[in-house]
Homo-oligomer: A and B are copies of this chain.
Amino acid sequence: MKIAIAQLNPIIGDLPGNTAKILQVAQQASDAGARLLLTPELSLCGYPPRDLLLNPSFIEAMSMTLLQIAQDIPMNLAVLVGTVEPNTKAHVNGGKSLFNSIALVDEGRVKQIFHKRLLPTYDVFDERRYFEPGLQANYFTLDNINIGVTICEDLWNDEEYWGKRSYAINPIADLANLGVDFIINLSASPYSVSKQKSREAMLRYSATRYKQPIIYANQVGGNDDLLFDGNSFALSRKGEIVCRALGFDADLTYVEFDTKQHDLLPSSVIPMCESEDEEIWRALVLGVRDYAEKCRFSKAVLGLSGGIDSALVAAIATAALGKENVLGILMPSPYSSDHSISDALGLGENLGIKTQVIPIGELMQGFDTALVSLFAGTEFGLAEENIQSRIRGNLLMAVANKFGYLLLSTGNKSEMAVGYCTLYGDMNGGLAVIADVPKTRVYSLCHWLNSNSEIIPNNILVKAPSAELKPGQLDQDSLPPYEILDDILERLIHDHQSAAQIVTAGHEVATVNRVIQMVARAEFKRRQAPPGLKITDRAFGTGWRMPIASNWLAVKNAYQA
Contact = CB atoms under 8 A, between A and B. Distances in A.
Interface of A: 11-17, 46, 48-52, 54-58, 60-61, 64, 90-95, 121-122, 126, 128-129, 157, 163-169, 222-224, 290-291, 294-295, 356, 358-360, 362-363, 366-367, 369-371, 374-375, 378, 381-384, 386-387, 390-391, 393-395, 397-399, 401-402, 423-424, 428, 430, 496, 498-501, 524, 527-531, 542, 544-551, 553-555, 557-561
Nearest to A221: B549
Contacts of A544: 51
B15 A558 contact: yes
A204 to B, nearest CB: 22
A537 to B, nearest CB: 12
A95 B168 contact: yes
A370 B381 contact: no
Given A55-B559, A165-B92, A424-B428, A371 B395 contact: yes
A59 to B, nearest CB: 9
A55 B498 contact: yes
6 contacts: A11-B551, A55-B496, A58-B555, A121-B121, A386-B397, A528-B530
Nearest to A169: B94
Contacts of A548: 224, 295, 531
Contacts of A553: 14
A551 B17 contact: yes
A131 to B, nearest CB: 10
Nearest to A549: B294
A190 to B, nearest CB: 14
B51 A168 contact: no
Contacts of A360: 370
Contact of A15 (B54, B163, B356, B554): B554
A421 to B, nearest CB: 13
Nearest to A359: B370
B424 A402 contact: no
Contacts of A542: 545
A486 B550 CA distance: 34
A540 to B, nearest CB: 11
The 8 closest A-B pairs by CB, nearest first: A14-B551, A57-B498, A94-B165, A294-B549, A383-B401, A91-B164, A383-B402, A12-B550
Contacts of A366: 362-363, 366
A551 B58 CA distance: 13
A132 to B, nearest CB: 10
A375 B402 contact: yes
Contacts of A496: 54-56
Given A50-B545, A129-B121, A362-B370, A550 B61 contact: no
Contacts of A90: 164-165
Contact of A64 (B167, B501, B561): B561
Contact of A549 (B11, B382, B558, B560): B11
Contact of A547 (B12, B168, B387, B401): B12
Contacts of A498: 55-57
Given A366-B366, A381-B402, A549-B295, A14 B224 contact: no
Nearest to A360: B370
A121 B94 CA distance: 13
Contact of A561 (B57, B378, B527): B57
Contacts of A384: 398
Contacts of A95: 165-168
A557 B16 contact: yes
Contacts of A430: 524
Nearest to A553: B14
A399 to B, nearest CB: 6
